[in-house]
């Protein structure tokens, strides 16, 4: 309950502060602004603008290996997720550059006609248009026909935040639906479906095998030794014990190693709660490293900011409830009461 009381008290202190500051300022509180500033600096841009998104240090290590297995065109995947654009029929078109609507309907339009088929147009979002450009910038500029000068009615064919094209449906079919998602790696020859299944099976096998091997290795190397280190750390200065809690948790990637090692001693009365608290708080900081590593693998603004929120929530909570002895007695007293 020492761990639980610290978390509950930190939430009870920091959450109202964030809500009140956010209501006054209109966007967020201290945690939000501190983590936003660091995330902005990390990705060299404001929220949603990630010019260094491809520069993830984790991806730089893993990409050469994953590229041997599978390479995919993520912009085709995004375009497929957004869905095909819907066609809309105009009420009037520019007859000098468009085939008359009645002729299109009765099938008399010549296939070799130099004028355009304006019988329908498509409104596409900025996000879909961006993916069209990234799939093929040359095809985007050469093949797509903008509605301007062709569609007369409705006067404003699409909303200001959309792009209007006469042939976006055919373009989507040719450059999104008919193109291969997998563009490289030894799974390419199996096709999109087969290659995806092969890559998934291989990824799951490596993930499960890696986790199993990691757990076994950590158990052999650290569990017995880590338990001894944790017990010895309870005899150290509180701040040194706090650092030991951080280091052990970072190494074994589990705060439960610290808490599960100390709980029996507290239950038997061999270890006072006051000596368990710094180790527990250190493990709280150490466990945030996992989220930070995950954020670095993605290296986007939101991922980094969320991981930093986890870190700074614990940092601020520790600064409130740990340094001053009379403040430290609050979580300890609450834990003793519940225990």
- What are 174-192's pLDDT values in tens digits? 999 999 998 888 888 888 8
What would the mean pLDDT of 144-167 be, rounded to a whole number?
88
Q: Distance between CA atoms of 259 and 277, rounded to whole angstroms? A: 10
Report whether pLDDT(135) > 80: yes
* Domain chopping of the chain, boundaries: 2-56+234-338, 74-179
In contact, 280 and 317? CB cutoff 8 Å = no
Q: Which residues contact 152 (CB under 8 A, 6 or more apart)?
A: 90, 92, 93, 94
Q: Distance between CA atoms of 263 and 230, rounded to whole angstroms? A: 12
End-to-end CA distance of the chain: 7
Tens of pLDDT, residue by residue over 27-80, are 888 899 999 888 888 776 554 444 444 566 677 777 888 888 888 888 999 999
In contact, 99 and 152? CB cutoff 8 Å = no
- pTM (2 decimals)? 0.58
Tens of pLDDT, residue by residue over 270-305, are 677 788 888 889 888 988 888 888 888 777 888 889
Vertex 1: Cα angle to 253 and 18 (nearest 5): 80
Tens of pLDDT, residue by residue over 200-246, are 999 999 989 887 887 677 666 555 666 666 667 667 788 888 888 88
Backbone angles phi, psi at 8, to 5 degrees: -65, -45
DSSP β-bridge partners for residue 182: 72
Query: Would you state the pLDDT for residue 218?
Result: 64
Query: Would you state the pLDDT for residue 92?
Result: 86
Return the closest-CA partner of residue 40 out of 305, 273, 267: 305
Query: Would you state the pLDDT for residue 200?
Result: 92
Return the closest-CA partner of residue 126 out of 79, 84, 161: 161
DSSP 125: E
DSSP, collapsed to helix, strand or coil, labels residue 237 as coil
């Amino acid at each position: 309950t020492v761990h639980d009381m610290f978390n509950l008290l930190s939430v009870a202190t920091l959450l109202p502060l964030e809500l009140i500051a956010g209501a006054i300022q209109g966007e967020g509180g201290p945690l939000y602004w501190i983590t936003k500033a660091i995330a902005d600096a990390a990705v060299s841009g404001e929220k949603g603008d990630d010019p260094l998104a491809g520069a993830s240090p984790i991806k730089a290590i893993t990409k050469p290996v994953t590229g041997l297995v599978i390479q995919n065109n993520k912009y085709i995947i995004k375009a497929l997720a957004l869905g095909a654009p819907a066609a809309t029929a105009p009420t009037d078109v520019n007859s000098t550059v468009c085939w008359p609507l009645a002729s299109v309907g009765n099938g008399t339009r010549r296939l070799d006609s130099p004028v355009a088929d304006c019988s329908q147009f498509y409104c596409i979002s900025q996000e879909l248009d961006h993916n069209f450009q990234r799939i093929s910038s040359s095809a985007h500029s050469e093949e797509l026909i903008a509605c301007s000068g062709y569609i007369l009615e409705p006067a404003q064919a699409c909303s200001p935040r959309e792009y209007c094209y006469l042939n976006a449906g055919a373009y989507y079919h040719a450059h999104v639906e008919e193109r291969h998602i997998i563009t490289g790696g030894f799974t390419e020859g199996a096709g999109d479906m087969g290659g995806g299944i092969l890559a998934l099976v291989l990824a799951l096998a490596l993930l499960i095998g890696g986790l199993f091997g990691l757990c076994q290795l950590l158990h052999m190397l650290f569990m017995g030794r880590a338990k001894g280190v944790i017990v010895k750390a309870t005899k150290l200065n509180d701040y040194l014990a706090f650092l030991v809690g951080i280091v052990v948790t970072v190494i074994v990637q589990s705060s439960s190693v610290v808490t599960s090692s100390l709980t029996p001693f507290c239950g038997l009365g061999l270890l006072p709660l006051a000596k368990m608290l710094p180790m527990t708080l250190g493990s709280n900081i150490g466990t945030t490293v996992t989220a930070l590593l995950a954020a670095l693998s993605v290296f986007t603004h939101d991922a980094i900011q969320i991981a930093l929120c986890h870190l700074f929530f614990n940092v601020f909570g520790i600064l409130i409830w740990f340094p001053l002895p009379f403040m430290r007695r609050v979580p300890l007293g609450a834990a003793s009461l519940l225990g």
